[in-house]
Amino acid sequence: MFQLKEQIAVVTGGAKGIGKGIVNALLAQEAKVIVLDKDVEAGEALARELPIDFLNLDVTKAEQVSQVFSRIIEAYGRIDILASNVGIFPQKTLENMSEDDWDAIFSVNLKGTFLVVQEALKHMKKQTYGRVVLTSSITGPVTGFPGWSHYGATKAGQLGFMRSIALEYAKFGITVNAVQPGNILTEGLIEQGEDYLKQMKATIPTHTLGEPIDIGAAVAFLASPEARFITGQTLIIDGGQILPESFDAIL
């Protein structure tokens, strides 16, 4: 239905997990994809596996972000799509949470989103075209989970950030949207442990965890020229996890 031929797409945190799913979906629509990630080993391995370019980036470092985006503009001339996907989700209950725990997650999930999106929008505004898609979560904006109060605050914060910049850039042919994944089987999710995965599967009406490509497909649509009249919106992709009013409602 739509294709992204010759579009320049940047995916942060694209070396693995949901980011890799986004990369695969964008490649399937024939976009040129540049992956930015701090995991150099995984990024370089991905560049051997798929026709992408990989650049090392820590999204919390403003100067690095600016340099990497300048390199992308020098090499490709433009940025049509930004999937701002980096996020971390360490668990800490509130009573055990230190100021450093709080600052670390806000630095990656919110400051990192701000730095990367601001840089991409600078170039998109000149082009009077752009598609920004943030990876938020159901956790925070819709649901809660013990140990993720700081994480949930960052994921809800991303949506607040998105809504105002969607307004600031709407007249420049730029849309800013978000996806809210439920439980998607990634390296990061596996780290939560077998009990967590089992518990999640039981609370998802499809009785399956999502796969990275499930998020990638939604991002590719929101990143397409055809999605031009959708901005400041979010799409929940969770196998119906937020729907049941009780366990009995899951058949």
- If one asks whether residue 38 binds ligand NAP (CB under 6 A), the answer comes out as yes
Binding segment toward ligand NAP, per CB under 6 A, in 74-82, 86-94, 118-126, 164-172? 86-94
Q: CA 223 to CA 241: how far, in whole Å?
A: 25
Residue 110 in contact with ligand NAP, rule: CB under 6 A: no
- Cβ nearer to ligand NAP, comparing 41 with 95: 41
CA–CA separation, 164 and 161 (whole Å): 6
- Pick the closest to residue 90 from 191, 204, 210, 208 (CA basis): 191
Looking at beta carbons only, is 134 or 166 nearer to ligand NAP? 134
Among the residue ranges 27-35, 44-52, 181-189, 219-227, the one whose residues contact ligand NAP (CB under 6 A)? 181-189
Binding letters toward ligand NAP, positions 45-84, x by CB under 6 A? ------------xxxx------------------------
Contacts of 216 (CB under 8 A, 6+ apart): 18, 21, 22, 23, 24, 25, 26
Q: Is residue 177 part of the contact set for ligand NAP (CB under 6 A)?
A: no
Q: Candidates 9-17, 23-31, 142-150, 220-228 — which segment interacts with ligand NAP by CB under 6 A?
A: 9-17
Closest CA to 213 of 5, 7, 26: 26
Burial state string for 1-36 with b = 16 or more CB within 10 A and e = fewer than 16: eeebeebbbbbbbbbbbbbbbbbbbbbebebbbbbb
Is residue 13 a contact point for ligand NAP (CB under 6 A)?
A: yes
3-state secondary structure of 111: helix
> Is 19 or 130 the residue whose CB approaches ligand NAP more closely?
19
Catalytic residue (choose from 76, 129, 151, 169): 151
Kindly identify the residues of this chain, within the stretch 210-229, that bind ligand NAP according to CB under 6 A: none
Binding of ligand NAP by 19 (CB under 6 A): yes
Tokens of 81: 């799509």
Nearer to ligand NAP, 13 or 130 (CB): 13
Smallest separation (angstroms) from ligand NAP to the CB of 46:
10
Residue 182 structure tokens: 């439920």
Known catalytic membership, residue 151: yes
- Under DSSP, the state recorded for 38 is S
Residue ranges of the alpha helices (H) in the chain? 17-28, 40-49, 62-76, 99-106, 112-127, 149-169, 187-190, 194-202, 212-222
Contact predicate 220/25, CB 8 Å: yes
User: Which positions lie near ligand NAP, rule CB under 6 A?
Assistant: 13, 15-19, 37-39, 42, 57-60, 85-89, 108, 112, 135, 137, 181, 183-184, 186-189
The catalytic site residues sit at: 151
